[in-house]
Amino acid sequence: MYTRSLCVSVTLISASACIPTITDDLATVGKPRLLAVATTPAEATPAASITLRALVATPPGARAPAVDWELCLDRKPLTELGAVSPACLDRAGDAAVEESAGRGDEVTSSVPRDACSLFGPNPPPPKPGETGGRPVDPDPTGGYYQPVIAFLASEPTLGAVRLNCGVPGLTPDQRVEFGNRYRINENPRVDMLQMGASDVLPPDDTADAPSVRRGSVIKLTAEWAACPRKAVCGDGICGEREDATSCAADCPAGTSRGCTGAETYAWFDVAADRIVDRREGIAVTWYSTAGDFSERRTGVAETDADEPSARTTWTAPAKTGEQILWTVIRDDRGGVSWNSYRVRVE
């Protein structure tokens, strides 16, 4: 979670972003905490409608306050080392700095029309008394992000929606090629959480909670979709060079079907002056109301993206009763989602 003493929240702008100092209780949820922020779609154009969701992890029997949302409109100063302008974290009510996006665990808003100028590759508008500023540099995946701030009891957590602003510096031919190959990001998703050698842990709203012995050490494996490296018409995914004309089965008019694992995406290699394919890395962060994890952040790097799973072990607490586990999955292009699971410790 974002705190003013750290560089950026693990709720992310990218799975490869700066990671805060780990404290002993980071993975333990002893009171209501806002663990992650997600946007749907995971990548959007200016003025597009978006849904903002917050994962407020709450121990059994506890109640959490409502989440307040703001879209940051203030470009951070060049001297600011943090991920966002500090003015966006103070809730001063300045319409030039922040735009209210609603209240609740899930709200609907829209991307600001000038987002690609404020936080993207387009020249930004000059501030009073200043000359025009420089465009924002992309992240390592070529992405730009509209900052989103979620407040839980006045504590800010930073999220972002990836902006589809195009790529600066392309030739006309490269622009056409990139448009044919690039597909907007899809939020990743944990499809199955395996407990031990073969048992599947069901999401907490679909079945009775399974039981485990107190103090037992349990292997957990989170699995997600195995995304194809090359687009094939009929695989259910609208990949590069596929559209409603070339493959209507995968790309119905007006929709985009991505893969919910480590996607292949087009990336402009500035040094080589050409467009190449890359694979997303995937990170899974683990949380629980009690017990401990051997590894609290696991996943696969871009070079290992064909492995669609991540593993850790959870040591059940000594006390008995119902416990909750959460998995938060993120990809390199800013996609986020989560699942929760219930376990009875006996």
Architecture of domain 33-225+260-345: Sandwich (2.60)
pLDDT at 77 (0 to 100):
80
Partners of 222 in beta bridges: 193, 310
pLDDT at 61 (0 to 100):
84
- Taking only the tens place, the pLDDT of each residue in 18-27 is 333 334 468 9
Instruction: Kindly report the backbone phi and psi dihedral angles of residue 40, in degrees, each rounded to the nearest multiple of 5, phi listed first.
Output: -130, 120
pLDDT at 130 (0 to 100):
62
Q: Is 321 left (phi over 0), alpha (psi -120 to 50) or beta?
A: left
* Sign of the C-alpha dihedral computed for residues 230, 232, 237 and 241 taken in this order: positive
pLDDT at 132 (0 to 100):
65
Q: Which residue has the tokens 């990139």?
A: 178
Q: Are strands 217-223 and 98-103 parallel, antiparallel or unpaired?
A: unpaired
- Taking only the tens place, the pLDDT of each residue in 179-210 is 999 999 999 999 999 998 878 888 876 668 88
Burial degree of 308 (CB within 10 A; 0-12, 13-18, 19+): middle
Q: Where are the domains of the chain?
A: 33-225+260-345
Q: Is 91 left (phi over 0), alpha (psi -120 to 50) or beta?
A: left
Residue among 11, 7, 35 at smallest CA distance from 334: 11
Cβ-contact 164, 45 below 8 angstroms:
yes
Burial degree of 251 (CB within 10 A; 0-12, 13-18, 19+): buried
pLDDT at 197 (0 to 100):
81
Give CA separation, 244 vs 41, 45, 238, 255, 267, in Å.
19, 20, 9, 9, 23
Does the pTM surpass 0.85? The reply is yes
Average pLDDT of adjacent 10-residue blocks, the chain of 346 residues = 36 40 69 96 97 94 92 86 87 87 96 95 77 85 97 93 96 96 96 90 79 95 95 92 91 85 97 96 97 96 94 96 96 97 94
